[in-house]
Structure 1
Amino acid sequence: MLTRRALGALPLLATPAIAQPAWPNGPVRIVAPFPPGGSVDTVSRLLQQPISAELGVPVIVENRGGASGSLGTAQVARAAPDGQTFVLVFDTHATNPALLPNMGFDTRRDLAPVLLLGTAPNMLLTHRTRPWQNMAEVVAAARARPDAITYGTIGNGSLAHLGMVLAQRAAGIQLTHVPYRGGGPLATSAMAGETDLVAATGTIFVEHLRQGVLRPLAVLGPRRRASLPDVPTMAEAGLPGVEAEAFWGILAPAGTPPAVLARMEAAARRATEVPEVRERLTTIMGIELRNEGGAAFGAFLDRQIDVWGRVIRENDIRPD
């Protein structure tokens, strides 16, 4: 027979299970901190339905562009750590701390890494109306006319921009940078041939490449892209040390319960394994899936922040 003392202890034993809040307890919001039409928006919406199916609640993608992704990310950094709000960041997340010291949040302290989805090398492309067929011709033209050749990126401090800073240093040339406010505006500009060159991941230029509107010149990465095997790396084109790989990853407000982070990580990971999603991300967008969890993603971000912060300081890069 249970004593009064034993009976009194039973609720205490059950308390931890009862005290755990149900999650998710409503719609989950993923902030895409760039305008519609870019790679962050595309990746967010590819994951939206599969994650919703895994969690059993609606998933809402909300575009909050501005300040190289820092405005939308700041909103998430200040959100309640209840598992209802996440952010899908791009490579500018690692460069903004050195560029924008007054962002209103601390990148390392105020956000919890959930999952590094994948990476992709940036590329240098040119509009079909321009004459250059390879990097050697671009370099020769730039040496003949310093500052006359323009190149567009998603914005100051993006890894495409910093990669091109390294390329110019390696080649001994000077180009004119034209920053846009995200991949959507850059894609529109690229289609119209507003700049001579475009530096970007290529994830949003699939149709441009297929139609021949843009001509790829070089890959800013350690190896050629499988989908474009004839396009050399910058090193192969005679410019060693020019590598700038973009990345996409999910973060949550710091203090979000570990169990919630683990479940969101698993849901996002499984979303990338849906055949249609995986095909779009890897074959069409050219993203190399990494699916590295919170600890590994945090270490990755630390390295990126340190490496690119040094490039920004050494080259006196300023925000838009």
Structure 2
Amino acid sequence: MNPFARRAALAAVTAIAAGVMLAGPAIAQQPFPSKPIQLVLPFPPGGSFDPIFRTLSEAAAKELGQPIVIMHKPGAGGVMGTATLATMNEADGYTISVMHNSVIRAPLVQKVNWDPLKDFTYLIGLAGLTTGIVVAADASWKTLPELLADAKKRPGAVSWGNVGAISINRIYGERLAKAAGTSFNMVPFKGGSEAFQAVIGRHLDVYGDPGFGSQVQGGKVRLLATFTSERLKRYNAPTVKELGYDLVIESPVGLVAPKNLDPKIASRLTAAFRKAASDPAYLNQLELFDMQPHVIGGEEYLAYAKAQFAREQKMLADIGFKPE
């Protein structure tokens, strides 16, 4: 190669290298988000969470300028899907998940290799679940006292379903039975859609979980009582507490990302979902499924999770629960 050609080749290589060096920071500084975001929904399709979070995601996507894709990852009573984020090595904001109390409780009731208080970035708390006790519309029990009286005559004969074997709703169902001097045949389900089909088809006697609104309003199931502090305005059903059992379930849901998420990205996601949480279509879905809107920031949600973990640790110790 002659000297002129050699100098020309060297100049070309230098220019390419300089271009790569300049492009690197530009790629690194690309604004978030620059591609679709995955939202893990840890329950099967067809349950109450499906339309609620689909509507919320559509509203948040408008704020973020990128699609939010729902990824159903059911398993372990809604714990498995969220837990996959706890073991991710990197947090880039492109994978987030629904968080709920069964995930926070998981280390207290089974062996897991992650910590719900350390292995997630808490983004936002969104709403509170409302737990009800329902039976088929044509079931013989018209009230909760009737149901409990029958169960007391036949301990273990009445079947009681919940989503997951370790949910707070399962635990409170057991506590209610114990307080009434009886026991239920506890049946875990993967999702609410499957459980409601079982109740309506008379394959399951009782279902004690959230998401009952549309089924009650459609006349397919009868609401006997709720685990709320006060009666729901929409229904004339008593609370478990007013019937003499001091049992109230608080069960908020929100969103998390893997740990160590860049605070700027976390703030971007929180702001988008906070605005989306005021979207009328989303609020209509909450009302349809009797969920109460309650928006809190990531730090406040983490503080709640820590306090809830401590409360449930004490409660499980008080009732003598042994981890699996």
> Which TM class, normalised by the smaller chain length?
0.7 to 0.9
Q: Which has the larger radius of gyration?
A: 2
Q: Which residue of 1 aligns with 2:6?
A: none
CA gap 1:25/1:18 in 2 versus in 1, 3 angstroms = closer
Q: Which residue of 1 aligns with 2:266?
A: 261
Counterpart AA for 1:83: G
2:134 counterpart SS class: strand
2:223 counterpart SS class: strand
Range moving further from structure 2, 159-168 or 247-256: 159-168
- Please report the TM-score for the alignment, with normalisation by the length of structure 1: 0.87
Aligned length, in residue pairs? 298
CA contact (8 A) 2:214 2:289 kept: no
Aligned-pair RMSD on alpha carbons? 2.0
CA gap 1:17/1:301 in 2 versus in 1, 3 angstroms = farther
Alignment of 1:244-259 (within 5 A): 244-259=249-264
CA gap 1:180/1:317 in 2 versus in 1, 3 angstroms = farther
Q: Distance in 2 between matches of 1:138 and 1:163?
A: 16
The alpha carbon displacement at 1:214 in A equals 0.9
The alpha carbon displacement at 1:315 in A equals 4.1
1:149 to 158, 161, 168: 158
Q: Tell whether 2:212 aligns with 1:208.
A: no
1:276 to 268, 276, 281: 281
Q: Tell whether 2:60 aligns with 1:55.
A: no
Counterpart AA for 1:310: K
Q: Distance in 1 between matches of 2:121 and 2:217?
A: 38
The alpha carbon displacement at 1:106 in A equals 1.5
1:268 counterpart SS class: helix
Q: Distance in 2 between matches of 1:47 and 1:312?
A: 34
1:173 to 158, 169, 182: 182
CA contact (8 A) 1:157 1:317 kept: no
Q: Which residue of 2 aligns with 1:113?
A: 122
Q: Distance in 1 between matches of 2:214 and 2:47?
A: 13
CA gap 1:100/1:200 in 2 versus in 1, 3 angstroms = same
Q: Which residue of 1 aligns with 2:8?
A: none
Q: Distance in 2 between matches of 1:278 and 1:185?
A: 25
Quote the sequence identity (%). 27
Deviations 1:115-140 (A, max 9, x none): 11010331111112321111211121
Q: Which residue of 1 aligns with 2:291?
A: 287
Q: Distance in 2 between matches of 1:289 and 1:94?
A: 20
CA contact (8 A) 2:78 2:164 kept: no
Q: Tell whether 2:149 aligns with 1:140.
A: yes
Counterpart AA for 1:39: S
CA contact (8 A) 1:77 1:105 kept: yes
Deviations 1:55-81 (A, max 9, x none): 001111100111122321222223321
CA gap 1:149/1:18 in 2 versus in 1, 3 angstroms = closer
CA gap 1:77/1:21 in 2 versus in 1, 3 angstroms = farther
Mark the runs of 5 or more structure 1 residues left unpaired by the alignment: 1-15
Q: Distance in 1 between matches of 2:62 and 2:120?
A: 25
The alpha carbon displacement at 1:318 in A equals 5.8
Counterpart AA for 1:24: P
CA contact (8 A) 2:130 2:292 kept: no
Q: Distance in 2 between matches of 1:256 and 1:55?
A: 17
Deviations 1:177-225 (A, max 9, x none): 1111122322222221221111011x2x333212322111111121111
Deviations 1:277-298 (A, max 9, x none): 11221x2111111110011101
2:283 counterpart SS class: helix
Instruction: Give the ranges of 4+ consecutive aligned residues of structure 1 lying more than 4 Å apart after TM superposition.
Output: 16-21
Range moving further from structure 2, 20-29 or 213-222: 20-29
Q: Which residue of 2 aligns with 1:182?
A: 191
The alpha carbon displacement at 1:303 in A equals 2.1
Counterpart AA for 1:286: D
The alpha carbon displacement at 1:265 in A equals 1.0
Counterpart AA for 1:278: L
2:253 counterpart SS class: strand
Q: Tell whether 2:245 aligns with 1:235.
A: no
Mark the runs of 5 or more structure 2 residues left unpaired by the alignment: 1-24
Q: Distance in 1 between matches of 2:45 and 2:109?
A: 23
Counterpart AA for 1:132: W
CA contact (8 A) 2:52 2:285 kept: no
Q: Distance in 2 between matches of 1:18 and 1:32?
A: 30
2:248 counterpart SS class: coil
Q: Distance in 2 between matches of 1:197 and 1:115?
A: 33
